[in-house]
């Protein structure tokens, strides 16, 4: 299947104490048309900066892109969706978003790719009505004016599930609840009809009920607006709900990537095991919830071997010495762990992971 966006060998560095240090290290991933890629990982793992680089929103300096491409394909022809396995794709009809000037980027931002952020209030102007703010995006894209523009904005307000859109059109952001404000932010992001919508923890600041409503809205909009989605979260439970494929990030690297089913039922990296083990939904009643010991490495010091090794109770000696390569588990699933090397000793995953695998064999589906 052909990707719509292909991020290749992306390394992002930040200037610190007079030297550039990597915070995203040689990351590659594909985003397929009409699908949702979830990016999951702890705070500081590099989820936001990876996506901000694609949008051209990194502060340069102190940031710099040391290597990589973000190829946006202009392929309109239908692809055979028999499976998610990568096929070689020519670069002829692609543009590298990382090589564009600010002017070039402005053309793609909004029109091709839009991003919504965690905290809705920071993306809204408190001094302008929401109608006006959405209208600016619609005008840019569709060139509408006057009554036609107003009508288009009211339609989008309705599309994102805001009741009484005519009345709400003339109101200011502070007159909206947190969930409704996030709907306004989503309205602005989709107003230009982007191909790709990047959602950076869009529900983290919301309570659980509202969170579920926003996730359902995004699923509906994905269909109605024909969107391809990148969904960033630190919550694997949220990812299970929304993503077709999942990339697990640790310390600036994607350590495992696969279809959602593969990540939930067939995970191979000890960090993915740890993340799954700490999901409240999978905890055993009465037992203390698993929490990952220790803290992520300081990326401003050199990382040796498998970055997760110091926190991994089952780490092998080689984990502290050498960065593992990707090992293929299926055409759609790979993980960077020495446990997959044929010479590695057989290590049993933690009890929770064994339970999930057993449950799958028994026919149960996670999240159903």
Q: Is 260 in the site for Mg ion (CB under 5 A)?
A: no
Question: Taking the CB of residue 204, how many other CB atoms lie within 10 A of it?
Answer: 14
Select from ligand ATP, Mg ion, none the partner in contact with residue 44, using the beta carbon and a kind-dependent cut-off of 5 to 8 Å. Answer: ligand ATP
Q: Is 211 in the site for Mg ion (CB under 5 A)?
A: no
Select from Mg ion, ligand ATP, none the partner in contact with residue 62, using the beta carbon and a kind-dependent cut-off of 5 to 8 Å. Answer: ligand ATP
Tell me how far apart the alpha carbons of residues 8 and 347 are, in angstroms, rounded to a whole number.
32
Stretch that binds Mg ion, among 3-11, 41-49, 242-250, 360-368 (CB under 5 A): 41-49
Closest to 144 (Cα-Cα) out of 134, 159, 157: 134
Tell me how far apart the alpha carbons of residues 278 and 234 are, in angstroms, rounded to a whole number.
12
Chain positions contacting ligand ATP, by CB under 6 A: 14, 23, 41, 43-49, 59, 62, 234, 299
Question: Taking the CB of residue 230, how many other CB atoms lie within 10 A of it?
Answer: 26
Closest to 129 (Cα-Cα) out of 166, 169, 157, 161: 169
Q: How far is the CB of 200 from Mg ion (least distance, A)?
A: 6
Q: Which of 6, 11, 36, 48 binds Mg ion (CB under 5 A)?
A: 48
Q: Which residue, 20 or 225, is less far from ligand ATP as judged by CB?
A: 20
Q: Which residue, 31 or 130, is less far from ligand ATP as judged by CB?
A: 31
SS3 of the chain: helix, strand, coil, percent, to 5: 35, 25, 40
Residue given tokens 């340069």 in the structure block: 60
Q: How far is the CB of 341 from Mg ion (least distance, A)?
A: 32
Q: Which residue, 114 or 312, is less far from Mg ion as judged by CB?
A: 114
Burial class (CB in 10 A: 0-12, 13-18, 19+), 100: middle
Q: Which residue of the chain is nearest Mg ion when measured via CB?
A: 48
Question: Taking the CB of residue 280, how many other CB atoms lie within 10 A of it?
Answer: 9
Stretch that binds Mg ion, among 48-56, 163-171, 176-184, 248-256 (CB under 5 A): 48-56
Q: Which residue, 31 or 40, is less far from ligand ATP as judged by CB?
A: 40
What residue ranges bind Mg ion (CB under 5 A)? Answer: 48
């Amino acid at each position: 299947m052909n990707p719509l966006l292909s991020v290749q060998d992306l390394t992002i560095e930040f200037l610190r104490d007079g030297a550039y240090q990597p915070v995203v290290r040689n990351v590659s991933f594909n985003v397929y048309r009409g699908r949702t890629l979830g990016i999951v990982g702890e705070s500081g793992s590099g989820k936001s900066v990876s996506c901000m680089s694609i949008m051209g929103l990194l502060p340069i300096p102190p940031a710099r892109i040391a290597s990589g491409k973000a190829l946006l394909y202009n392929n309109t022809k239908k692809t055979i969706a028999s499976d998610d396995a990568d096929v070689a794709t020519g670069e002829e009809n692609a543009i590298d978003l990382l090589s564009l000037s600010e002017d070039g980027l402005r053309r793609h931002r909004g029109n091709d790719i839009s991003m919504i952020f965690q905290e809705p209030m920071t993306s809204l102007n408190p001094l302008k009505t929401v109608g006006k703010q959405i209208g600016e995006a619609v005008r840019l894209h569709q060139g509408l004016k006057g009554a036609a523009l107003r009508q288009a904005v009211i339609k989008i307000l309705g599309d994102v599930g805001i009741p009484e859109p005519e009345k709400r059109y003339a109101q200011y952001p502070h007159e909206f609840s947190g969930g409704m404000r996030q709907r306004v932010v989503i309205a602005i992001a989709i107003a230009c009809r982007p191909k790709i919508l990047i959602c950076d923890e869009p529900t983290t600041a919301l309570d659980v009920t509202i969170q579920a409503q926003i996730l359902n809205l995004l699923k509906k909009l994905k269909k109605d607006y024909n969107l391809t989605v990148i969904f960033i979260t630190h919550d694997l439970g949220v990812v299970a709900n929304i993503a077709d494929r999942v990339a697990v990030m640790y310390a600036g690297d994607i350590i495992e990537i696969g279809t959602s089913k593969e990540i939930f039922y067939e995970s191979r990296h000890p960090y993915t095991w740890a993340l799954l083990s700490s999901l409240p939904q999978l905890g055993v009643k009465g037992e203390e919830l698993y929490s990952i010991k220790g803290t992520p490495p300081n990326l401003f010091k050199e990382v040796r071997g498998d970055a997760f090794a110091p926190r991994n109770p089952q780490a092998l000696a080689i984990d502290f010495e050498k960065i593992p390569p990707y090992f293929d588990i299926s055409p759609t699933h790979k993980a960077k762990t020495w446990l997959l090397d044929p010479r590695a000793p057989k290590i049993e995953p933690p009890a929770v992971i064994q339970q999930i695998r057993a449950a799958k064999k028994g026919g149960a589906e996670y999240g159903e």
